[in-house]
Amino acid sequence: MKKPNRTFLKRKGVTNNHHVLAKTRHGVKVPQNLIRLDENRHAAFHLLFGTRTYKEAAAVLLRADEMVRRKKK
């Protein structure tokens, strides 16, 4: 039986670079485009938002919140 893909489970406390604008979207490796993230948070961000920027991810969350609020009315 094949093991489930658990690449999103990383080593606690280990950090790596996260490109604010993804390399696949022509983001470059300059200090203004890089932040250090814990591997778990980095993997979680990409699992949830793919290659979106933080502003784009925030917009997704705000739209989802608005949809929930409309549904409750």
pLDDT in tens, 4-52: 555 555 566 788 899 999 999 999 999 999 999 988 889 899 999 999 9
Q: Which pLDDT band holds residue 54 (cuts at 50, 70, 90)?
A: very high
**pLDDT average, residue stretch 58-70:** 95
pLDDT of residue 39: 87
Residues 6 or more apart whose Cβ sits within 8 Å of residue 6? none
Task: Decide which of 37 and 3 is more confident.
Answer: 37
Instruction: Look at residue 73 in the predicted model and tell me its pLDDT.
Output: 73
Contact partners, residue 12, CB within 8 Å, separation at least 6: 38, 39, 40
